[in-house]
Amino acid sequence: MDLRELVDLRVRDGEQAAPGGAPAVVAGVSVGGERSTAVRGAALAPDSCFRIASLTKAFTSTALVRRMRENGVALDTPVIELLGDLAPDWRADTGLTVEQILGQVSGLRECVEASDAAALGEGPEALHEAARLVVRGGNERAPGTRWSYYNGNYFLVGAVLAALGGASYETVLRRDLLGPWNLSRTGFDAPRDPVAGRDGGRELPSRDYPRPRRPSGGLWSCVPDLLALGEGLLADRELLDRVRRPRTAPDDPMAYGLGWALGPSGQMYLNGRLPGYRTAMLLVPDKDLVSVALAAEQTALPLLARLLSDVQYPFTGDDLGAAVDAFAA
């Protein structure tokens, strides 16, 4: 069954859970660099831009790991050494490392809400001040002892990327990753032709994503750019090995690397959720497989998860539908 048939099959299945009708979906697969795409929905194209929510973390993580390698900075460097101006407000464990915040094993107290970050405004210091709030909250447990998904970790990640790159987070991401990897349809500003998000078929008004939260979920992107991100990771084996090495313990809720959940056969996956949008991405590095699915319907995650599980199943024999759907983005 080819990708278009799989998309049609899963969208038909998903229609039962979508009271507003079939969701708009764009999906893509790359195997050894050979791509195929499928579109389901009026007025959509293979490169239509969606909000990708927490798939943004894969861009942020990739950019920071590359920047640290370029600067000769080890992943086990304590964060406080790279954000020294936050020291007067630092209540977190001073041994907290960059790979622990990237790997969601920081043990930080999850006390900074989305509204707290948004209240910091849109100025050039907003992200840095969000990072200050995070470390001011201190640790709930020792770093490295337990996996827990917390967007505050990625406020810190974005601040570290900005510090190492000597410019704003957005500028460094564009200069270090989006530009060199030709990800021309990916960015924080709404594109000229955005796909509108929907809830049960009802179109939702477009809202800006708060600047302090951008490293955790603020990007717009499209299937070709997401496939290119995955292909870029697979082509740089040293980078890939750094990103996909588990940072979690055997008894953690899931196996997790740097920005990616890890499957039983070495799969890397994540999903994203914002009002009106659902997204999912899955890689099988040892089979040179990259897959992604984007939907403009917030009830669509189960069908996207099922679709990507179907795509990778012939390569691994694993059923990952429930895992991709349940991932805590």
- List pLDDT tens digits, range 1-12: 577 777 776 766
DSSP string across 137-199: T-BSS-TTS-----HHHHHHHHHHHHHHHTS-HHHHHIIIIITTTT-TT-BSSPPSSBPPPEE
Residue 160 has pLDDT above 90, yes or no: yes
The pLDDT assigned to 15 comes to 53
CA atoms within 13 A on the CB side of 321: 11
The pLDDT assigned to 10 comes to 73
Residue 78 β-bridge partners: 97
Residue 271 β-bridge partners: 280
Q: What is the dihedral of CA 207, 213, 215, 221, to 10 degrees?
A: -10
Residue 55 has pLDDT above 70, yes or no: yes
198 pLDDT tier (thresholds 50, 70, 90): very high
Distance CA 144, CA 310 (A): 33
Residue 14 has pLDDT above 60, yes or no: no
Residue 313: partners with Cβ closer than 8 Å, 6 or more residues away: 319
Residue 22 has pLDDT above 90, yes or no: no
Of the listed ranges 22-26, 139-143, 174-178, 220-224, the one predicted with least confidence: 22-26
The pLDDT assigned to 6 comes to 74
Distance CA 98, CA 77 (A): 6
Domains of the chain plus CATH, in order, are 3-49+186-199+218-326 (3.40.710.10), 59-173 (3.40.710.10)
- 118-158 pLDDT, tens digit each: 999 999 999 999 999 999 999 999 999 999 999 999 999 99
Q: In whole numbers, what is the pLDDT of the chain averaged over residues? A: 94
Residue 210 has pLDDT above 70, yes or no: yes
The pTM (predicted TM-score) of the whole model is 0.96
Distance CA 154, CA 138 (A): 15
304 pLDDT tier (thresholds 50, 70, 90): very high
The pLDDT assigned to 71 comes to 97
The pLDDT assigned to 43 comes to 85
Closest CA to 313 of 293, 295, 289: 289
- What's the DSSP call for residue 322? H
Q: For a pLDDT cut of 70, what percent of the chain falls above it? A: 96
Q: For a pLDDT cut of 90, what percent of the chain falls above it? A: 88
The pLDDT assigned to 207 comes to 86
> How many Å from the N-terminal Cα to the C-terminal Cα in the chain?
30
